[in-house]
Amino acid sequence: MAEPASTPKPTTNDPIAIVCVGMAGSGKTTFMQRINAHLHAQSKPPYVINLDPAVTKVPFQSNIDIRDSVNYQEVMAQYKLGPNGGILTSLNLFATKVDQVVNILEKRTKGKVAPIEHIIVDTPGQIEVFVWSASGDIILGSLASSFRTVIAYIIDTPRSTSTSTFMSNMLYACSILYKTKLPMILVLNKADATDVSFAKEWMTDFEAFQAALREEEEGKGEEGGFATQGSGYMGSLLHSMSLVLDEFYKHLSVVGVSALTGQGVDEFFEAVQEKAVEFEKDYRPELERRKGERDKLKAKIKEKELGKMMADMNVKGGGGRRKKDEAETVSEAEEEDDNSDEDDGSDKDNDMSRRYQQALGEDEMDTSKDMSFVKYLQSSNIG
């Protein structure tokens, strides 16, 4: 039976882009190396992109490396920037080439010989430089408009065992989700060093988090009883935030992983599949809606500009121009007097109209034909 026209095309074999984001030292690079090795072991080599211009050594082979096109040290010296400014500017320079990168990716992932199933992307540890910059926006937007894209937010679990650091990390994750509007997997890394069950419990059982909070308030918690949350203000702030985050947790997949030992990597890829389906179902329509709105706005602006241009050129011989009889200077007035018998000025307009008609190969110049001229300009990419 033929499928109804509105049925979305199955795109389950489309490649999935996994963008690894995380604070410095959370283990992004080690995690990238792990998932890269895992996919190679399954004979599904991914396409690897490194977007960290400042990294000195990458322990895996990258197919595209920002360092090949931008020299971070030189950028810093040339623009007299500090480390973060250098990373931001390098990303900006890279963002100007993102269309070419996406073209390469599209060709490569659809290759007939060995189609790529995963694109994995490493990002700078300075999360804000990537997530909160225009270039990060452009890079992520371009990826997401071509591929199912998932954010893997890597967390240093051993350093998130106190309620306040855990909460800070969750707020960061929340802000990334809010900013990128892409499905997210929370990767509780370094599971070999710290059991991640406490974090999973805090995310699923509100009471458990409140109990941990109380414990820390009484100075019995982690960090050697350093009861920073003890003050009433901090306690009630954390309490309110945990209420807010409760809703946010529902939108996440959470996996405990050890990038070092490989523990939990299979579970991570199951989460990737889940989130890729979610991308297809919830995020793609939203992205397309936003793209449609942007395109409509662009078309409107273009039409308006063209309308203005047409008025300026006065193609139909009316409006816009200074009245033909109004001379501005004495010499103009004299000239007009001289020409008054043979030329009343409208000939110039008609002449212009004739030329446009000729250019368009049209005989008449009515309003509907003006529209086709606009279309002509649009199709010629003028304006």
Ligand X SMILES: Nc1nc2c(ncn2[C@@H]2O[C@H](COP(=O)(O)OP(=O)(O)OP(=O)(O)O)[C@@H](O)[C@H]2O)c(=O)[nH]1
Binding footprint of ligand X on the chain (CB under 6 A): 22, 24-30, 55, 125, 189-190, 192-193, 258-260
* Smallest distance, ligand X to C-beta of residue 192, A: 5
* Smallest distance, ligand X to C-beta of residue 21, A: 10
State which residue, 24 or 243, has the beta carbon closest to ligand X: 24
State which residue, 84 or 378, has the beta carbon closest to ligand X: 84
Closest CA to 377 of 320, 315, 319: 315
Residue type at 82?
A: G
Structure-block tokens of residue 232: 């009433």
Other CB atoms within 10 Å distance of the CB of residue 68: 10
With CB atoms as reference, the residue minimizing the distance to ligand X is 125
State which residue, 124 or 221, has the beta carbon closest to ligand X: 124
Cα 45–chain centre separation: 25
State which residue, 255 or 365, has the beta carbon closest to ligand X: 255
State which residue, 15 or 46, has the beta carbon closest to ligand X: 46
* Smallest distance, ligand X to C-beta of residue 268, A: 12
* Smallest distance, ligand X to C-beta of residue 24, A: 4
Structure-block tokens of residue 67: 């360092």
Element (H or E) spanning 342, and its range?
none
- Using DSSP's 3-state secondary structure scheme, residue 236 falls into helix
Other CB atoms within 10 Å distance of the CB of residue 5: 5
State which residue, 46 or 125, has the beta carbon closest to ligand X: 125
* Smallest distance, ligand X to C-beta of residue 77, A: 22
* Smallest distance, ligand X to C-beta of residue 195, A: 13
Buried b (16+ CB within 10 A) or exposed e, 272-299: beebbebbbeebbeebeeeeeeeeeeee
* Smallest distance, ligand X to C-beta of residue 92, A: 19
Do residues 185 and 152 make contact, with C-beta atoms less than 8 angstroms apart?
yes
- Using DSSP's 3-state secondary structure scheme, residue 90 falls into helix
DSSP string, 171-184: HHHHHHHHHH-S-E
- Using DSSP's 3-state secondary structure scheme, residue 357 falls into helix
State which residue, 70 or 87, has the beta carbon closest to ligand X: 87
Closest CA to 210 of 241, 173, 239: 239
